[in-house]
Structure 1
């Protein structure tokens, strides 16, 4: 089934509601970094076909890159306290086939967004740095599901995730929002935005963090039903965003980055760094996936993960590779004074922990001196010893951007290679690895990223050949819009995309 519409012109759909901006690019009068530069909201839904290509899109790339953007639809109630994590979700789909590219964006029309559209303004306050809420209409959801964190296909559904509520389901071609998805009754309130797909079974591995309880889930690839769950009480309401999986273990890091709903209710910052809750420092929690036995291991310091590359097993050791940060959130001593973005989120570095399951001891080391975020691997290496990991660099701590280059770390030789954006391109997104059909080697594929063009203030898709990473990108695809800087995304090959489109057409 074709998922590329016939060639045509760029088609935009303005909001056509009260409070809509006069143009697609909306800048409110604020110096808040998260509302300017590559973060600046874009308020039109867009379709575009036969996009211009600089270079060539390889013929063996066929499918769709789905990315989520953090894109506030209405002016935040407190622009000085607004945080990047709080923007509304808008999904961007880049459809690649036969050397051509098409593009579409659409809001994730959650129940809470419908309320704000009806009111013509932001109603919900911020949960990261606090703020003043509006008056909720009768029967409105008590909390906002911004649906802005991750997007990908599972069980023939395009699912959009936010850790404060259920995922939302969208049509993978039209990006129409259908409603929430609970894995056929398998989850009730929420789940993490970070899931892993077992490369052997295709099962989804994921979890939910609710207060101090972490619930592990496994969903069957054939039916989409949850077939395994296990709850772990970690003792503190940790803001747990990501995890890692080896062949036999699920790996969770418990750090003093807390999610405090009681403070949010008072209009105070809800993401808090409070080292007093873990007097012995951060901990690694291992869940044995075979027996569901849980073991606890002290890390020897107080730090937190941002995102994980991967985990694998080497003898008695579970080797965990991720990006480590020294603090995440507003310090508990500064709840009344908002902190800047770089104070709130200092630079993270590639790090490795090795947990000896026989002795319980943990050792650690820094892998790279290049600061960065959004680590990714070739997903076919999940649970195995990967050689390569990719991430966006955060070297300069610029006033207007978050990231500034694209890196590949070689775990075998211990070196990190950085490539810059061509021309005026900067602020790359999380990299997504796309394996070539029939690939026999880990680096046999492409790395896809979205970049911000300082000159045009629009976005571009770059495609790098992973095997010749430091060469010029094989393709640049300028987009007719800016995709406001967001968090995560995933690739769906043509077969998976066609199945999901066929299933969505039945539901529509």
Structure 2
């Protein structure tokens, strides 16, 4: 890596604000750790406090929600609606380099040419208007998840197809459709089968769910199956076991018809499910679908994992009491501070013989973005990690990092050192020659209140402490985003070598 840092010149000539956007609003999702950062950055030999582990070689990829231009309605703007900005933090031999790039979707490029936002919001409604001539019919914000598959760095958003990026330069290469196998949308929450390496994912189009499996060697779709769940659920995440795919049907709905009227499109409609929440299992081999009544009116946010044990399907995830704008408040949607009540870890068990569901709350620490060691996907796990959301502060959402030990029924929580708070989803990276499930590192981005910038913290996953193994100071703020992934050096190098023009 070059010895001196290098910074890309801020892109402000087109009228967008400088690095720190200052749009007049008290909307939580446009301030503090969420505040947009309006330039792309590169830097090398970043300042490291502590020591980066010698075996931590590869790249952490994050994608954030980061509006390029002032939203048409700043008070109604929602966190889910910002433009995708990909962050790559490249670690090697104890040193760190950094790069961010906008995901240049067709709709993003159109707004850049126009010099302003032209699309209305979809989560809380907004200020609808006639789209200018030539504008793509809908906005693909490409802001939800990012990871390497089929030698592409893919950025996912559930309102469109993934976008392919160069894994090193982060330049946008265009849409990716799994070699013609996926036609409209796919979930941002893919899973990697630990045995085959295949990608497992789904698409939610209204009330229709389509299951997919993509071959790890070719990238082609080798299995798919569609079924109807009756209502247009906001189906964001799912889980898999060795034999089943697991879907939750909840009162959180995604209503395109309301979006077209300028009303909130993410709504809470308890009347849509008179019998309460249902758990749907699809056999991954036979495609047989079974329904199981969980009861109650609540929503899942994200899953840790699922597995099969003694005739049951065990599902671990976080549960929230409400998600979205209640149907009774469509014209006065809830504000950003009300959108996310505290979510708590829960366990659901489906008895495969009787079909009955049991539920148990796991611990009392509120949090979000649950993760595990991904090598245990679909297998019995012992440890889970998440960002805590205990305080519901005025300017932040998350306030610490947690590790839960299911065998000991114990949760460890640490806060950030100094002025660091608002951590993102932690990503687990196994040590070289790991000897156990928790033998590895947790990588997460935190917001520094004092500087307004972000830092990468590297914690020991087996010994979670407030003082991390390493702190890496980033030259910009990465607004609090959603998901990301790690690519080790071999995977990263293979993806770079597989780019057009590099084939040998």
* Distance in 2 separating the partners of 1:47 and 1:266: 41
The alignment status of 1:39 with 2:34, answered yes or no, reads: yes
- Helix, strand or coil for the counterpart of 1:380? helix
1:467-482 matches, cutoff 5 A: 467-470=462-465, 472-482=467-477
> In the comparison of the two structures, how many residue pairs are matched?
503
Q: Does 1:153 align with 2:177?
A: no
Matched, 1:18 2:21: no
Once the two structures are overlaid, the 10-residue window that deviates more, 183-192 or 461-470, is: 461-470
- Structure 2 residue aligned with 1:407: 402
How far the C-alpha of 1:98 sits from its partner, in A, is 0.1
Q: Which runs of 5+ in 1 are unaligned?
A: none
Structure 1 distance, partners of 2:494, 2:462, is 30
State the alpha-carbon separation in 1 of the partners of residues 502 and 292 from structure 2.
46
- Contact kept, 8 Å, 2:189 with 2:238, in 1: the verdict is yes
2:246 paired residue number = 251
Q: 1:194 is matched with which residue?
A: 189
Corresponding residue for 1:114? 109
* Partner residue in 1 for 2:494: 499
Q: Tell me by how many angstroms 1:215 deviates.
A: 0.3
5 Å matches for 1:72-471?
72-470=67-465
Structure 1 position 316, deviation (Å): 1.0
CA contact (8 A) 1:68 1:148 kept: yes
Q: Aligned partners of 1:162 and 1:182: how far apart in 2? A: 13
1:65 has 2:60 as partner: yes
In structure 1, distance between residues paired with 2:135 and 2:460: 48
Counterpart Cα distance in 2 of 1:192 and 1:299: 23
1:334-369 per-residue CA deviation (whole Å, 9 max, x = no partner) reads 000021224222110000000001000000000010
TM-score by length of 1: 0.98
What CA deviation, in whole Å up to 9, does each residue of 1:8-28 have, x standing for no partner? 22312322542222x211121
Q: Secondary structure at the match of 2:111?
A: helix
- SS in structure 2 at match of 1:305: strand
Find 2:4's aligned residue among 1, 8, 28: 8
Describe the SS at the equivalent of 1:333. Answer: helix
Q: In the alignment, is the contact (CA less than 8 A) between 1:17 and 1:117 conserved in 2?
A: no
In 1, are the aligned partners of 2:146 and 2:484 still within 8 Å (CA)? Answer: yes
Shift of 1:241: 0.2
The worse-fitting range, judged by mean Cα deviation, of 58-67 and 9-18 is 9-18
SS at match of 2:8: strand
Q: CA deviation at 1:64?
A: 0.1
Deviation larger for 137-146 or 283-292: 137-146
Instruction: State how far apart, in whole Å, the 1-side matches of 2:423 and 2:110 are.
Output: 33
| Pairing 1:53–2:48 present | yes
- Deviation sequence 1:297-335 (CA, Å, 0-9, x none): 000211111000000111110000000011110000000
Separation in 1, partners of 2:160, 2:411 = 37
2:479 is the alignment partner of 1:484: yes
For 1:504, what is the secondary structure of its paired residue?
Answer: coil
C-alpha separation between the residues in 2 aligned to 1:283 and 1:74?
40
Alpha-carbon contact 1:17-1:120 (below 8 Å) kept:
no
Alpha-carbon distance in structure 2 between the residues aligned to 1:389 and 1:99: 27
Contact 1:10 1:480 in 2 (8 A): no
> TM-score, normalization: structure 2?
0.98
Structure 1 moving runs of 4+ over 4 Å: none
- The separation in 2 between residues aligned to 1:507 and 1:210, in whole angstroms, is 37
Q: Deviations over 1:360-391 (max 9, x none)?
A: 00000000100000000000111111111000
Once the two structures are superposed, residues 237-276 of structure 1 have per-residue CA deviations (whole angstroms, 9 ceiling, x without a partner) of 0010000011111000000111000000000000000010
Map Cα deviations across residues 455-482 of structure 1 (whole Å, 9 max, x no partner): 0010000000112113621000011100
CA contact (8 A) 1:256 1:273 kept: yes
Say which SS state the counterpart of residue 279 (structure 1) adopts. coil
Q: Is the 8 A contact 2:389 2:400 kept in 1?
A: yes
Per-residue CA deviations over 1:112-138 (Å, capped at 9, x if unaligned) read 001101110000000000011344232
Across the aligned residues of Structure 1 and Structure 2, the Cα RMSD in angstroms comes to 1.1
Residue 57 of structure 2 contacts residue 93 of structure 2 at CA under 8 Å; is this kept in 1? yes
Deviation at 1:163, TM superposition (A): 0.2
Structure 2 CA distance for aligned equivalents of residues 323 and 331 of structure 1 = 20
Deviation at 1:507, TM superposition (A): 7.6
Distance 1:471 1:32 in 2: 30
Provide the C-alpha distance between the structure 2 equivalents of 1:473 and 1:425, rounded to a whole number of angstroms: 12
User: Unaligned regions of 5+ residues in structure 2, if any?
Assistant: none
